Every structure is written in structure tokens, then in C-alpha cells.
Amino acid sequence: MPGIAEGLRDVVDLRGKDSRERPMALKLNHAQMEAIRRHAAEEYPFECCGVMLGKVDDVCKAVGEIVALKNLRRESARAQEWLPVDDPTRESGRNRFLIDPLDQLRIEKDGRARSLEVLGYYHSHPDHPARPSIYDREHAWPWYSYVIISVERGVPGDLTSWVLAEDRLAFRAEEVEIVS
């Protein structure tokens, strides 16, 4: 993914947390983590993407469901309809993901009907580290958890989670807790 390593210090702030932002843990169970890993391996060498639904309290975001989605960037013409880019060859399913807005609305509505909320999103970084890129920061929203999984030559590796600061200047690492 172009730009992942460039400017990383500007994107990721691991030194501290803004006093207004209370650190929370993202809780996944083994099956959910394996679903993300499997999705990442199946989609390699392309980025996979999906949504995490669940419940939030004062100390954690508890994932109740992982919803694997199709990466719309793999369909260049449709992706251009939803989110046009100047040079579509630079933003392909290999180095970017795009969630179909209609899928996003459907998932949010379905989740609300079951008392679940969107906690965040996951995507893979094929042959790159599980750290957010500048592009990731520019397209993220504060509060949501952004799980990134590295996939090296088709094998899922590190899985990390990040939360964008309210000022949108940096991500902070979020603890991922694997529960039974």
C-alpha cells in the first residue's frame, strides 16, 4: 500500500492519549478473530474489508458480529460511481478498500433492529504492516475501531486496532482483547 511507511510518525501516536479520550479495549472472541484472518487470506492479494457490530460500555467495545463485505475497489467502474478518483489505476482492490454505501446502510439498519451498533471496521494490508496509512487516517472517523490485519504472501499475520483522535491528527493504538 503506497504511503504506509511514509509519514507514519504523523499518523500513529503511541506516546499518550488525550485526556478527553478514555481508552477502551476492543473485545473479540476467537471465532471472530479467525473470521477476520480467514477473510484476509481468502481475499489476498486484495484488501478485504468488513464491519464489526456489537455493544459498547464504559470500558470496552464488545464485538458481537463480524460482517465480511465485498471490496468495491475490485470493481473499478462501480467504485468510480461511488467515490471517484483522478487515477483509478492507483487505487485498486490491491491497495484500497471501499464499502458499498448501500451495504453500509443495510448493516447499520439491521444492527439497530437487533440492538447492535457499528463499533468499527476491519481491513487487510496485503504485504504491508498492520499499521494505519495516511490514506486510512484521511478516510477514518473518530471513536470507531479500525482493525488492520497484515497478510504476507497470503498468510495472515499481525492484527492491530486503532482509534482516530478527535482532532483527526493521529491514530492511537487500541487494546485488542481475545475473549472466550
pLDDT in tens, 153-176: 999 999 999 999 999 999 999 999
The answer for residues whose C-beta is within 8 angstroms of residue 45's C-beta and 6 or more apart is 94, 126, 127, 154
pLDDT score of 89 more than 70: no
Helix (H) or strand (E) holding 5: none
pLDDT score of 117 more than 80: yes
At 92, the pLDDT band (50, 70, 90 cuts) reads: low
- Domains of the chain (ranges; CATH) run 24-179 (3.40.140.10)
pLDDT value at residue 83: 65
At 72, the pLDDT band (50, 70, 90 cuts) reads: confident
Give the pTM.
0.83
At 97, the pLDDT band (50, 70, 90 cuts) reads: confident
Region 129-152 average pLDDT: 96
At 126, the pLDDT band (50, 70, 90 cuts) reads: very high
